[in-house]
Amino acid sequence: MSKREKLIRVCPKCGSKNVDRDVGTYDIAPFYVCKSCGYGSSLFPEISIKEAKKLKEKPIKYSPILTPTKKPVSVPLILFSLVFAIITMLILIILGQ
């Protein structure tokens, strides 16, 4: 693979090349979502366009149970909420005494 060869992101679950960055997340690591199967992760492999043309996409059988309906909650948001709640409780305890 040459240094100037263009790379494309490929879904590790279904092999689709229809992958976009999720602009709704504001994490340190970018979050990508496969538009074909709905798989989302910050880790999507990048391969050359020549290699991507050789890949065959796996057919996806959609089911109401397996089809993603909600965006995943980011870990930094959960950690921030937890720390905020602990600090708030400590302030209330200190002011209450």
Instruction: Tell me the domain boundaries of the chain.
Output: 7-96
Helix (H, G, I), strand (E, B) or coil at 77: helix
pLDDT of 68 higher than 70 = no
pLDDT of 81 higher than 80 = yes
Q: Which residue has the higher pLDDT, 37 or 60?
A: 37
Binned at pLDDT 50, 70 and 90, residue 84 comes out as: very high
pLDDT of 64 higher than 50 = no
Q: CA 43 to CA 37: how far, in whole Å?
A: 15
What is the overall mean pLDDT for the chain?
76
Say whether pTM exceeds 0.85. no
